């Protein structure tokens, strides 16, 4: 028997490799279109599932971004308040230093000298 090589089992139980490059497409028997429709439908469902997951993730990221914007605005307000408080405290400190310097200048020279030496 001559002709193209057989596909399938050989007499010794091993299989003949198919020439997939030149092999004829499988015959479509019965409702071949149903399988094609089911494959497309399954692919469509997988794509839609992935799109829904992506949309959910984007929605979560948008919410997180909005939360971070609100947090940032609150932190800016707190920074402004703390900066103002710091500036007020610096002003009070400078005023207190000036008052102390004025009081020290009023003291007689002897009291200043005695105060600088400290107890011996």
Per residue in 76-95, pLDDT (tens digit) is 999 999 999 999 999 999 99
Handedness of CA 62, 65, 71, 72 (dihedral sign): negative
pLDDT above 70 coverage of the chain, percent: 61
Neighbouring C-beta atoms of residue 57, cutoff 10 Å: 10
Phi, psi of 111 (to 5 degrees): -65, -35
Three-class DSSP category at 16: strand
Measured distance CA(77)–CA(79) in Å, rounded = 5
- Whole-model pTM: value is 0.48
Give the chain's count of helices (H) and strands (E). 2, 2
pLDDT at 37: 64
């Amino acid at each position: 028997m001559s002709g193209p090589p057989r596909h399938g089992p050989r007499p010794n139980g091993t299989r003949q490799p198919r020439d997939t490059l030149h092999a004829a497409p499988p015959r479509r028997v019965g409702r071949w279109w149903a399988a094609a429709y089911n494959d497309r439908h399954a692919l469509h469902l997988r794509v839609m599932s992935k799109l829904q997951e992506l949309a959910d993730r984007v929605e979560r990221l948008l919410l997180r971004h909005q939360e971070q914007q609100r947090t940032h605005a609150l932190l800016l307000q707190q920074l402004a308040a703390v900066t103002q408080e710091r500036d007020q405290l610096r002003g009070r400190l400078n005023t207190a230093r000036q008052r102390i310097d004025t009081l020290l200048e009023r003291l007689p020279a002897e009291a200043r000298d005695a105060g600088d030496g400290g107890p011996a």
